[in-house]
Amino acid sequence: MRQHRAFTLIELLVVIAIIAILAAILFPVFAQAKEAAKRTQELSNVKQVGLASTMYAGDFDDVYALHRHWIWPDSGDPSPAWSQKVMPYMKNVEILRSPLDSGNSENLQGWAGPTISMSANTLAGGPLADWADNSMHGVIGFGMDQWGGPVGTISQTGITSSAQTIMLSFKYTKDVKQAQDANGNGWLGGNAVYGWLTSTFLWDFDPSQSGKAYYYTDTLTCGAIPNGNRPDKAYPEGKMGALSAAPSGISNFVFADGHAKAMKGTTTNPDGVRQPDKNLWDSKRSNP
């Protein structure tokens, strides 16, 4: 009679150990592939929103959407935020969210609007002259108009280099909420469409001016753009500013000419003081 030889305990343990080793090798690869796929989807999303913004400008005398902040929903302005103004050209709020953003998608506080993952370039100061309107999307509202801030937007023809001027990039709700909670300002809870400046990149600041705080860079609003000359600090006041990025510092951007690409955040503004011509957030910079 033919006898069947069973596996010994040692053989079973060896097989299990081999499977565990293979899993340890493959799981990180699978995780990286999954993240890469989500980042590709994110790039597609921001390009679509960029096209929607361009179509909006085409219908409004060549001018990009103005962002109003701290304007209540019942104020009489039916679309205070830049994202609301371009919504008719995409009709899907999910495009404004990143598959890499684990933050909630609720209507914050019942009035702040749904959370999103993108923010518009509304650069209005820092190493530039205070309140200089050098953004693509103008910004107005409580504080801005009272303090003599920007009240308009730029036209497509007014941009000195469309291929090298950032229109939109990413500011995850999860990052904004974490920063706000760390500073005891979690009342808003993320990147909200309207009510405050979380859905914009507003400010740059000179790190040489130690101790000087600028409005709209702190953890309440997370408004700072990247600056490679800034000291390493916690989000959102370090080199990356309020930009959400991969651990490598890579994030997705869409530019004024409509093309979208991934690049390192600090290369978008290596040094706002000594290299202003390389600040890709400044739509009116000279010698781009």
User: Average of pLDDT values for 214-236?
Assistant: 80
pLDDT band at 251 (very low <50, low <70, confident <90, very high): very high
Closest CA to 280 of 259, 249, 256, 262: 256
Longest dimension (CA), the chain: 98
pLDDT greater than 80 at residue 33: no
Interatomic CA distance for residues 48 and 89, integer angstroms: 9
Can you give the pLDDT at residue 71? 60
Contact predicate 167/52, CB 8 Å: no
Name the pTM for this structure.
Answer: 0.83
Interatomic CA distance for residues 135 and 106, integer angstroms: 29
Closest CA to 42 of 178, 135, 198, 168: 168
User: Average of pLDDT values for 91-112?
Assistant: 80
Closest CA to 194 of 103, 102, 89, 66: 66
Q: What is the pLDDT of residues 145-158, one digit of tens each?
A: 555 555 667 788 88
Q: What is the pLDDT of residues 270-279, one digit of tens each?
A: 988 888 899 9
More confident residue, 215 or 240: 240
User: Average of pLDDT values for 1-23?
Assistant: 76
pLDDT band at 109 (very low <50, low <70, confident <90, very high): low
Cis before 231 (ω within 30): no
Which stretch of DSSP H or E encloses residue 55? helix 9-59
Can you give the pLDDT at residue 284? 87
Interatomic CA distance for residues 145 and 133, integer angstroms: 12
Can you give the pLDDT at residue 169? 97
Strand partners, 141: 69
Interatomic CA distance for residues 221 and 143, integer angstroms: 13
pLDDT greater than 80 at residue 21: yes
Percentage of residues of the chain with pLDDT beyond 70: 74
Both tokens assigned to 69: 């902040």
Q: What is the pLDDT of residues 179-206, one digit of tens each?
A: 888 776 666 678 888 757 888 998 887 7
Which stretch of DSSP H or E encloses residue 224? none
Interatomic CA distance for residues 167 and 145, integer angstroms: 22
Average per-residue pLDDT in the chain? Answer: 81
Q: What is the pLDDT of residues 123-151, one digit of tens each?
A: 887 666 666 678 888 887 655 655 555 56
pLDDT greater than 60 at residue 247: yes
More confident residue, 94 or 125: 94
φ, ψ for residue 201, nearest 5 deg: -105, 115
Strand partners, 168: 120, 254
Please give the single-letter amino acid code of residue 123: L
